Structure 1
Amino acid sequence: MLFETLTVEAGGHPLQLSAQRAAFDPQLKCLLIADAHFGKDAVFRAHGVPVPAGATAGDLARLDALIAAYRPDSIVFLGDLLHGRESLGSETMQALIAWRARLGSVRVMVVEGNHDRNAGLLPPSLDIETVFEPWVFGPWALCHYPQAVDGAYVLAGHQHPVYVIASRADSVRVPCFRFAARCGVLPAFGAFTGGFVVNRSNDDAAIYAVAQNRVIAVRKPA
């Protein structure tokens, strides 16, 4: 495997955290991705913001590496697969359809997020199922919005959690995984995204930061 993983327990169940900002359930053989925001660069350019192209291609290359490493039976996007309606444009869709074709029989689902609703219906040629939260799969309640669900441990996205690593002279924001007693939040997978700083969260959530291609426990479970 070309990147580091760290196995943790979430709600009493094993979950492998990847330095590529994804999680893998080794029992279900399910790859979990939050907040890919494919086509966000196209949305910005459509609104006159001259950002460079290429974010979607780079994110799909990382996703291909994860698939090659884990060989999942299924892939679930925890909402915000696309960023906006302009993400349905030909360039982004052609890249996604070509990526989906490479997967063959792997089942792919997206838990509808707020950006997915704004983007509109996925074309049937993409062969990605849309499900609605909370979608129970094995021990998990898979959601876009962090929440509590009776009888299951929630895995969600939406918040784009980041952790600030600071010295006296400098600081850097890095993506992180955050696991509270009943809900875990994955970092945004998309490279072209912002983040919500969780350093000062006043609960006992465990935090695992992604830094220099490693997953580091910066706050361990209580």
Structure 2
Amino acid sequence: MHIVTKNIICNQETFTLTNQRALYWESEDALVLSDLHVGKSAHFRKHGIPIPDNVLIKDLERLKALIAFFKPKTILIVGDLFHAEFNTDVAHFKIWLQQFPNINFELIIGNHDRLSVALYKDLNITIHRPKKRIKKTSFVHDNVKSNENEFIISGHTHPGVIIKGKGKQFIKLPCYQVSSNQLILPAFSLFTGLNTKNSPKESVNYAFTSQGIYKI
């Protein structure tokens, strides 16, 4: 896996975007991502939809590579770590977590995070409702109005952009959406759609591929 990085400055803080659907905040030694949706593929299989069982495995391999690259002390998931009920994917994730006993896993509760508080405790995941604030940066799953001097990092919308070519050719790419008071993270899981219609006003899109990050 090829990890590409790009530093941006938001509200006097430097964040390192990656082409692997997560950012790194060096001053806090934190890897930040959103919308992993653990359990989504098993949920669909349970209801008769034949989704490959390696969907989660690929997402977790990518997360493990990012952990090896940045060696963070904290992983902050900005909502929708899980997708639905406890299932075989969640059981697999519980075993996967045991590789990282020295990393603090923290979760801002999202609309899909409906597991019991006892289970989060069993997984050794610290939960926050409705947001977590570090210095002047607040992490919240869905879009909210920020206070003056407060910068918001959120997820939920699964942002993407359409890049048009000659004729009727086009490609959709995931992206980070960045404005003066907010950064919207791409969905970390590959098993999600792309929302290309709801870009905040005056936002800059940082689209990415396996080879690079591009300001659009």
1:136 aligns with 2:125: no
Report if the CA contact (8 A) 2:207-2:214 is conserved.
yes
Per the alignment, do residues 120 and 186 of structure 1 end up closer, same or farther by CA in structure 2, a change over 3 Å counting?
A: same
Q: What percentage of residue pairs aligned between the two structures are identical?
A: 28
Unaligned runs of 5+ in 1: none
Question: Residue 163 of structure 1 aligns to a residue in which SS?
Answer: strand
Amino acid at match of 2:77: F
TM-score scaled by structure 1?
Answer: 0.90
1:211 alignment partner in structure 2:
209
TM-score scaled by structure 2?
Answer: 0.92
1:174 alignment partner in structure 2:
173
1:156 alignment partner in structure 2:
154
Question: Residue 189 of structure 1 aligns to a residue in which SS?
Answer: coil
1:127-147 CA-to-partner distances (Å, cap 9, x unmatched) read 111111231023310000122
Q: How many aligned residue pairs are there? A: 213
Deviation at 1:57, TM superposition (A): 0.7
**Residues in 2 aligned to 1:62 and 1:201: alpha-carbon distance in whole angstroms:** 26
Amino acid at match of 1:160: H
| RMSD of aligned Cα (Å) | 1.7
Question: Residue 102 of structure 1 aligns to a residue in which SS?
Answer: coil
**Residues in 1 aligned to 2:174 and 2:203: alpha-carbon distance in whole angstroms:** 15
2:107 alignment partner in structure 1:
110
Question: Residue 148 of structure 1 aligns to a residue in which SS?
Answer: coil
Question: Residue 112 of structure 2 aligns to a residue in which SS?
Answer: helix
Given candidates 122, 127, 149, the residue that maps to 2:124 is 127
Question: Residue 27 of structure 1 aligns to a residue in which SS?
Answer: helix
1:22 alignment partner in structure 2:
22
Amino acid at match of 2:51: V
**Residues in 2 aligned to 1:171 and 1:120: alpha-carbon distance in whole angstroms:** 43
Report if the CA contact (8 A) 1:100-1:127 is conserved.
no
1:20-51 CA-to-partner distances (Å, cap 9, x unmatched) read 01011010011001101111111111122122
